[in-house]
Chains A and B, each alone.
Chain A
Amino acid sequence: MYYQPTVSRNEMNEKTMRFLERFVKRVKGNPPGVCPISVQLSFLQSARSQTCGKCVPCRDGLAQVESMMRNILDGKAGMSTLNDMVELCHIIEDTADCAIGYEAARIVLESVDLFKDEYLSHINHHICLPEVGQKIPCVSYCPAHVDIPNYIALIGEHRYADAINCIRLDNPFPTACAFICEHPCEEKCRRDILDSPVNIRGLKKFAVDQISADQVKVPECNVTTGKKIAVIGGGPSGLTTAYYLSLMGHKVVVFEEKEKLGGMLRYGIPNYRLPKDRLDQDISAILSTGNIEVRCNVSVPDDVMMEEIDREYDAVYFSIGAQHGRKVEVPGAHADGVYSAVDVLNEIGCGNIPDYTGKRVVVVGGGNVAMDASRSAIRCNADEVTVIYRRRQVDMTALPSEIQGAIEEGVELLTLNAPRAVEVDEDNKVIGFRMQPQIISAYRAGKPTVTDAKEDTRVHPCDIILMAVGQEIYSEPFAEYDVNPKRKSFDTEPTTRLKTHKKYFAGGDCVFGPSTVIKAIGAGKVAAINIDDYLGYHHKILGSIDYPVPKENDRTHIGRVHLTDRSARERKHSFDPVENGMSYDEAMQECRKCLRCDHYGCGVVEGGRV
C-alpha cells in the first residue's frame, strides 16, 4: 500500500496549542478555596482526553476512575468507591504503556494521599472541609489581607490619602510595601484569566508617590487603656503590632537594639531597593499615633532584663527577626575576607559602605539576600562580582526581577557549582573559592536535586566572599520562652501566642524563619488583636473610609504595565533607588483593569473575603 507523503500544516494542533495557552492560564488562575477534588476531577478529564485509545487501562480505566471520582465529589459515594478507585489506579499505573495513562493514575494516587481529609469529608459527611469556599484572590493571598480592590478603586478616583489609610487598616507599611513587597496578591489576580495580573504593588507605589505616607493622618486612637505592652524588636512585625495596639489605646514600648527602627527593612534591604527616607515616612506615621515609646540601642536582655519586662508589662511581643547570617561550613570559612552577606548589608544599612575597589567578590547563594549582596558589592565598586550557586538559575529563590537587575548591573552567575573550600594565603586571607561542579538530578520533595558531576573541583579566584546561604534566629537569650531548640524559632499557637507562656506572643521571621515583610506585617496585626483579646478586650480598629461604587468590568484585554528601572549603567554607581514609578496614565489604566472580585465575585458573600 502506498501513501503519498504531504507537507503537514498541522493547523489543528497549532490552534489547539493556542487554545491551550488560555487553558493553562485558566488553570493557573484557579481561585483560592476551590474544592481540591473538583480540581483533580478536571485534571482527570484533561488526562483522559489525551488517551490515544490503544490500551484498555488508559482508554477504559481512566473513564471509570473519573466516574468514581465524580460520585465522591458529589458526596454520593462511600468508602468502597474510594477503595475501588485507588485499586484501579494502581492497576492502571501497573499496566498502562505510556505516560498518558500511568502518570495520570499516579497523580490521582498522589492526590488522594495529599487530600485525604477532603476525601474523607466528602465520603463521611457529604460536605467539603470548612476551609473550602472561594475567597477574593488578592485579599486572601495577601498575608495581611489588605483590602486591595478598594484601595485600587480609591487610587482610580485620585483619592491617594484615602488609599493609604485603606491600606493602613491592615498594613501600616504602605511605603515599604510599595517598594519591596513580594506581592503574593498578584499571584492569583483574576485578571490573569483575561490578560495578566494587575500591577498591584506598582499602584501602591504610585499612591505613596503622590502623597507621602507621613502626610496622611493616621486614625485617632482609642482612649488610653492603661495597659502597657513590650515589643521586643522594632522591625516590620514589631512595629505593626505596636501600631494596632496603640490605636486600641494601649501604651507600647518598642525595644530595638539597633540605633534605628525598621529591622531588616533598614538593615537588610539596600537603599537602592528601599530608600531609607521613604521607610522613615511609614515609621513616623506609625509613631504619630502617640502611644508608642521607642527605646533604641537597648538590647533585651542585655540592657533590660526579662524579669523587668515580665514585671512591668501586661503582655510581650517577640519580633526579633532572623538576623544572623549563616555561613557554609567549608574549610577556610573563617578566613580573612569571608563575611556573612547579612552582616555586610547591615553595615551598609548603618551607612558604613565598604570600598571594594580592585576587589573580586564572590557571593554564595541564590536568594534575594545574595542578589542584594552582589548588587551592593557592585555599588561598592568591586572589580568583578560573581554569584556562585549550586543549582540552576531557574532554581534560585530570588525574585526573577532581582536576578535580572543583578545581571544587568554586571553580576556574573556561576550556577551548578557547590562550595568546597575557601582558598587562603599564608596570612589566612581569601584568595579563591573552590567549587565542585554539579549536575542537575532527580526530583526530591518536588524539586530537582543536584549531584556532584564527575569533574574535578575548580577554584574561582577572589578576594572577598559574601555568604548568603540563609539566616538564623538569635533566640538564645529567650531559650526558656518556648524556643524550639532545633529551629531556634518561637513555638506559637496560630494566634501568635506562645504555647506555654500565656502573656507572651511572637511573630515574624523569629517564628517562621526568614520570610517576606508582608508575612511579618500580617503576623503583627494578628498578634495585636490577640494580645488585646488576651488582656480581656475586643477593641475595634476604627477608621472607616467611604469607598467608591465599583465600576463595571472592563473586559478589553490590556497588557500589564511593568515598572522599569533606571539604566544599569547609571544606577550601579550609587545606592539611589533604581525603580521608576508608574505614570499617571499607566496607573489609571491599571486601576481600570481591576475586576472587583470583592463586588462581582465571592467577596460579597459570607465567608468570601479571606
Chain B
Amino acid sequence: MSVNITIDGTLIKVDEGTTILEAARLHDINIPTLCYLKEVNEIGACKMCVVEVEGMDHLTTSCNTIARDGMVIHTASDRVIKSRKQMLNLLLANHDVRCFSCAKSGSCSLQDLSNEYGITESIYEGNEAKIPAKTENPFLTYYPELCINCQRCVSTCHKVAGNGVLHNAKIGTRTLIDAPFGPDWKETECESCGNCAQACPTGALIAKNKKKYQPGRTEKVLTTCPHCATGCQYYLIVKDNVIVDVEPANGPSNKGMLCVKGRFGSFNFVHSPERMKYPLIKGSDGEFRQASWEEAMELIASKFMDIKSEYGPDALAGFACSRSTNEDIYMFQKMVRCAFGTNNVDNCARVCHSASVHGLAMTLGSGAMTNPIEDITGDVDVIMLVGSNPEEAHPVVGMQIRQAVARGTRLIVVDPRDIGLSKQADIHLKLKPGTNVAFANGMMNVIINEGLVDEEFIRTRTEGYEELKEIVMEYTPEKVAEICHIDPDHLREAALMYAKADKAPIIYCLGVTEHSTGTEGVMSMSNLAMMVGKLGRSGCGVNPLRGQNNVQGACDMGAMPGHFPGYQKITDEAVMEKFEKAWGTTLNKKPGTYATDVFGAAIKKDIRGLFIFGEDPIVTDADQHHVRKALDSLDFLVVDDLFMTETARLADVVLPGISYAEKEGTFSNTERRVQRVRKAVTLDGEMRADTVIFTDLMNRMGYKQPRLHPDEIMDEIASVTPSFAGISHSRLDRMKDGLQWPCTDKKHPGTPIMHVGRFTRGLGWFYPARYIESAELPDDEYPFILMTGRILYHYNTRAMTGKTPGLMEREGHSFIEVNIADAVRLGIENGDLVRVISRRGSLTTTARVGDKVSECETWMPFHFPDGNANVLTNAALDKYARIPEYKVCAVRLQKIEHTDNYDEWSDEWPSPDNLQ
C-alpha cells in the first residue's frame, strides 16, 4: 500500500507507514534533525524537523509522524524556519560555544545547523546548572555543557548496544546523561564500545581519539576489522599517514556498530614503536642482529633447501596466519606446497574451530557457519547459544543477540559459566565442562520421546538416523543430568523450546570445539539441528562463531594439511591433477601434519624446519612447556610477524611483515562473507608485504612464482577454487555487502544460507556420538577443572590490543575465577594471590571470587603473560581435528600468604617465572 502526499509542492508517493521525514529524504528534500536516529531515537525532542501540515493546527515533528494520504506538507515555510531558529537559540543558550577547542568542530550537527540558519550566538542567556565533565574513562568523555539532551546516546546504549548503562539523571529541572565515565569507570558495566559517542550529534559525548584530528584534514579508508570474525566494516581515519581513529561503516554484519576492540584497539598497534622494521638473524651468541633482506632470505632458502634435500620435504612445515588476508594465506600455502614440497601447512583454526571444520564437513559437507548473522539474530523465536560468550568474544554479534532478546526472542544458554547473556536467558544450562555430547544426546532423547522429530526431513535429506537413535535412547534426561550436573527439567525444557520453535538457530563457539571430543561435540550440534529439520532454512542452522578475523579464510584458502583452497581434498586425484596443472609443478600427495602434531614431530626430529607466519604458539597453544621444547628442537625456525613475540624470540630468522592497514586483500568473516581489506598507510622501515616475502622465498627455493598484486592473487584463487570462482576485488569493490561463498561464477550472488534443499554432502549424516569424558578429570591431587577463554578487552596474545593503553588499564592482568564456596573452603578472598598448579606447570594469579563458575570449576583468560593459562592446559588432542582440550584440565589451587617480601614486587605484577 502506498500513500500520496505533497511536500513543498511536489507530489510524492511513498509506502504506507513512512514518516514524513523519510518520505522527504527519499526525494532529496532536506529536513534538518538533531535528535533523530532512525529506529533508535525517534522521540521528536529537538523540534528541528518540524513541518507545517495543512489542516493541522500545530507544527508537526516529521521524524515521528507517519505520512497520511493527501497530506500537504511545507518544510520551509516562514513559520517553520522561525521555529527552527528559535530552537537553535534555545539550545545554544546552554551550549558552551567553544568550537575552536571542541574536537567535534567540523562534524557537529549543532554547528552545521547554526551555520545553515545563520545563528552565530544565542539571543538568550544560559540559565542551566553547570555540571562537571566525566573524563576518567580512557576512551570516552562526557561534557555536560555541550550536551543538548537529544537522548541519542542513551537510546543507542539501550537499543543498539543493548547494554543499558547510560541513563538519564536529573539535577533539579535539568536532565543530564549519567555517563559511567567518571573515576569509577572500571567498576561499571560500561563496555566502552563507544557506540554512544558515535551517536552524539555534538561534542558532548565524545571519543578521546577525536581530539587528534580535524575531520576535514583526514582520509577515510573503508576496511574490515582485524579482531574477531564478525567482520565489522569500518573506516580507518588517516591523518598524514597515521591512523588516528576508526569510524564504523554500515556493514552487513555490524550495522554501524563496533566494539571496544574494533573502535579503540585496532590501530595503535599498527604504529607501535615495538613494530619490527628490519629482518633479524640470530647469531651464534643467541642474540639477534639486523640483517638485509637479501641475507635473511638467502639464509632461509639455503637452510630450508638443506633440510629438504637431507630429510625430505616433509621435514619442513608452515603455520599460516589467521589474522592475515586470504591473498597472503593462499600464497603461503602455495609456498609450502610448491616450494617446500609438503602438505605440512596449517593454521590456528587447528586450536579453535578445526573441530567445526572437520565435524560439519563430515556431517553436512561444509565446515562453516550455515546462516548469516543477521538471519540468526533478526526474526527468530529461540536462540540456542552453546559454549559461546559473544558479548566478550564477538561483541557485535553479542549486541545483536541482546537486541533479539529485547524484541522477545527466547534464549537458551548452555555454558558452564554465568556469562553476561545468562542473565537474560529464558533458561541457562550450566553444564559441567566437557559434557556437550551427553547434553546434545539428552536433548535428542527428549525430542524423540516427545515425538518432535522432523520425520520428513530425516527421511528425505539425511542418513544414519537409526544408528544415532539407538545410542541416543540411552541418554535419558536423568542420566544426562547426572553427567552434566544439570537439572533434568532444564534439559527437557530446552529440548522442547528448541524443537518446537519455528525459527531457532544453534550458535556455538569454542566451548563446543576445544575438547578432546570437540569434533563429536560439533557433529552432535548438527545431529540436533537435522533431527528437527532446522537446517537449510532462514533463522536456523548450525552456526560456529569463528574466532579470528580471517580464520575462516585461512581454512578456505587451503592452509590445512589435507585440503587445497576451497576444501578440495588432496586425496582426490582429479583435484590433485588440477592443482599440479594450475601451479605447474608436481605436488606432494601425502597429507600433511596437523599443527598440533607438528610439536611432537619436531621433538622426534621428524620435522626440522618451520616457517611460522604471524602466530605465537608459545603463548596460544596448550601446554606451553611442551611447545617450547618442540620449537627448541627445530633445526631452523623462521617467524614472519609484526612484533618480537615469545615465539619469535626462539626463531633463527625473524622477518618483519606488514599489518592489515598496510595491505590490500580480503578477509572472510565467520558467515563466509568475503570483504575487502584496504591499504591505509605506508610506514617507515624495511617491512615487506607478506606475499612479497613468500614469493621471494618460492623463487629462491626454485619455484618460479611471478610477483602478483593482491587482486591478481584473488583472480588466481578464483580460477582454482570453485566456491570462490565469482569473487574478485573489482566485484567486491562494487558490492556493498561483500560476497558469501559459495559464489560459483561472476553473476552468482553468493550464498547466504547453506544446504537449502540439499546438503553440500548430499545427504546429511547423523554421526553416532557417545559421550566420552574429558582426557584429564579432577582427582584428589588436582581437584578443580580449569577452563580457559577470552575477555572483552583483549584478543588472544594481546599482540594488538596490548598496544592500546586504555585496554590494558581496563584489564591488564591475569586472573582466575573461583566459586565462592571453594574460596571459603580454601580461605581465598577476592583479590588474593593464588598459585594454580597443573601436571604441566604452575603460575600465580589473582583470584576473582564469585558464582560465575560452579563449585570445583575455575576459569582463566589466556591473554596475559603474568599467568598464562596455557602453562597449565592439556594438549590432549581430538581424534579427528587434533584440537587440544583447552576447556578442561585439572588443577590445584593454593592461596599465597602475603609475605614480607610482598612489597618488593607489588609495584610490578609478579611474573610467574620469579615465583616458580
Contact = CB atoms under 8 A, between A and B. Distances in A.
Contacts of A222: 410, 426, 497
Contacts of A605: 43, 151, 154, 168
Contact of B158 (A122, A126, A606): A606
A223 B493 contact: yes
Given A76-B129, A226-B492, A605-B43, A540 B426 contact: yes
B172 A74 contact: yes
Contacts of A608: 168
Contacts of A549: 17, 66
B425 A552 contact: no
Contacts of A606: 151, 154-155, 158, 164, 166-168
A68 to B, nearest CB: 14
Q: Which of B60, B129, B155 has most A Cβ within 10 Å?
A: B129
Contacts of A132: 169-170
B730 interface: no
B169 A128 contact: yes
B90 interface: no
A74 B171 contact: yes
Interface in B405-436: 405, 408, 410, 423-428
Interface in B544-565: none
A127 B168 contact: no
A477 interface: no
Nearest to B405: A540
Interface stretch (A108-116, A287-295, A443-451, A531-539): A531-539
A67 interface: no
B129 A537 contact: no
B423 A538 contact: yes
Q: Which of B58, B173, B424, B425 has most A Cβ within 10 Å?
A: B173
A32 to B, nearest CB: 13
Contact of B408 (A74, A128, A227, A544): A544
B168 A226 contact: no
A608 B41 CA distance: 14
A227 B492 CA distance: 11
B129 A607 contact: no
A224 B496 contact: yes
B172 A538 contact: no
Interface string B163-181: 0101111111111101000
B428 A552 contact: no
Interface in A123-156: 126-128, 130, 132-133
B493 A607 contact: no
Given A35-B173, A73-B172, A74-B172, A607 B167 contact: yes
Contacts of B58: 552, 555
Given A74-B172, A126-B131, A537-B426, A225 B489 contact: yes
A133 B168 contact: yes
Contact of A223 (B42, B488, B496): B496
A98 B493 CA distance: 72
Interface in B28-73: 42-44, 56-58, 60, 64-66
B493 A538 contact: no
A122 B169 CA distance: 12
B169 A224 contact: no
Contact of B493 (A225, A540, A555): A225
A607 B169 CA distance: 9
B500 interface: yes
B169 A130 contact: yes
A127 B171 contact: yes
Contacts of B132: 126
Nearest to A536: B428
B154 A249 contact: no
B493 A128 contact: no
A538 B57 CA distance: 47
A75 B172 contact: yes
A210 interface: no
Nearest to B151: A605
A552 to B, nearest CB: 7
A555 B57 contact: yes
Interface string A595-610: 0000110001111100
Contact of B171 (A75, A223, A544): A75
Nearest to A549: B66
Interface residues on A, range: 35 or more
Given A127-B178, A223-B500, A605-B151, A35 B426 contact: no
B57 A37 contact: no
Nearest to B130: A76
A538 B424 contact: yes
B493 A38 contact: no
Contacts of B410: 222, 539-540
A542 interface: yes
A35 B172 contact: yes
A272 B492 CA distance: 48
A226 B493 contact: yes
A122 B60 contact: no
B38 to A, nearest CB: 14
B534 to A, nearest CB: 16
Contacts of B424: 538
A38 B168 contact: no
Contacts of A537: 425-428
Given A75-B171, A605-B43, A606-B155, A226 B131 contact: no
B576 to A, nearest CB: 51
A128 B171 contact: yes
B372 to A, nearest CB: 24
Nearest to A128: B170
A315 to B, nearest CB: 13
A283 B410 CA distance: 28
A604 B35 CA distance: 12
Contacts of B56: 552
Given A75-B131, A127-B178, A223-B500, A133 B43 contact: no
A75 B408 contact: no
Contacts of B64: 599
A222 B58 CA distance: 46
A600 B44 CA distance: 8
Contacts of A600: 44
A544 to B, nearest CB: 6
A353 B719 CA distance: 93
Nearest to B488: A226
A400 B394 CA distance: 60
Contact of A133 (B17, B42, B170, B405): B170
Given A76-B129, A540-B426, A542-B408, A607 B168 contact: yes
Interface string A207-223: 00000000000000011
A38 B174 CA distance: 10
Contacts of B169: 127-128, 130, 132-133
Contacts of A128: 169-172
Given A76-B129, A127-B171, A540 B408 contact: yes
A74 B65 CA distance: 35
A38 B173 contact: yes
A481 B173 CA distance: 45
Nearest first, the 9 closest Cβ-Cβ pairs linking A and B are A226-B489, A74-B129, A223-B496, A73-B172, A128-B170, A604-B43, A75-B171, A606-B154, A132-B170
Interface of A: 35, 37-38, 73-76, 122, 126-128, 130, 132-133, 222-227, 249, 536-540, 542, 544, 549, 552, 555, 599-600, 604-608
Given A126-B129, A542-B408, 11 more contacts: A35-B172, A73-B172, A73-B173, A74-B172, A75-B129, A128-B171, A224-B496, A540-B408, A540-B410, A605-B43, A605-B154
Interface of B: 17, 42-44, 56-58, 60, 64-66, 128-132, 151, 154-155, 158, 164, 166-176, 178, 405, 408, 410, 423-428, 487-490, 492-493, 496-497, 500
23 contacts: A73-B171, A75-B171, A76-B129, A126-B129, A126-B132, A133-B170, A225-B427, A226-B488, A226-B489, A226-B493, A536-B487, A536-B490, A539-B410, A539-B427, A555-B58, A599-B64, A600-B44, A604-B43, A605-B151, A605-B168, A606-B154, A606-B155, A608-B168
